[in-house]
Amino acid sequence: MSLIESKFIYPNPLNPAGLEIELKDDAEVTLTLLDAQGNTTLKVFENKMLPHGRHEIDFPKIEKSTNYCYYRLIAVSPLGKWEETKRLPQYEAKFGEK
């Protein structure tokens, strides 16, 4: 059983892109956006304490020229440490456009 389940949320005209996560336990969560080489380009938040349950995390508005390719999600709780790095859909690089 995983400590956390995540699902990418596509942007729409009313909401920015983001993640939907389900925590099985209270956890300190870090969410980072990475470039194609795996370098950290933006920390959305670091070691933020979140209670167990479902959470929607909005990504900040991203400019057209920014090229985020991956996100890394880390959660630490008494149940253990969980880490996931996933590729963002290609559509992602332009979700700051109007």
Q: End-to-end CA distance of the chain, in Å?
A: 40
pLDDT in tens, 26-57: 999 999 988 888 899 889 899 999 999 999 88
Instruction: Please give the DSSP secondary-structure letter assigned to residue 13.
Output: T
Which domains, from first to last, does the chain contain?
4-93 (2.60.40.3110)
Confidence band for 67, pLDDT divided at 50, 70 and 90? low
Confidence band for 9, pLDDT divided at 50, 70 and 90? low
* CA–CA separation, 77 and 88 (whole Å): 25
Tokens of 53: 């349950």
In this prediction, residue 26 carries a pLDDT of 95
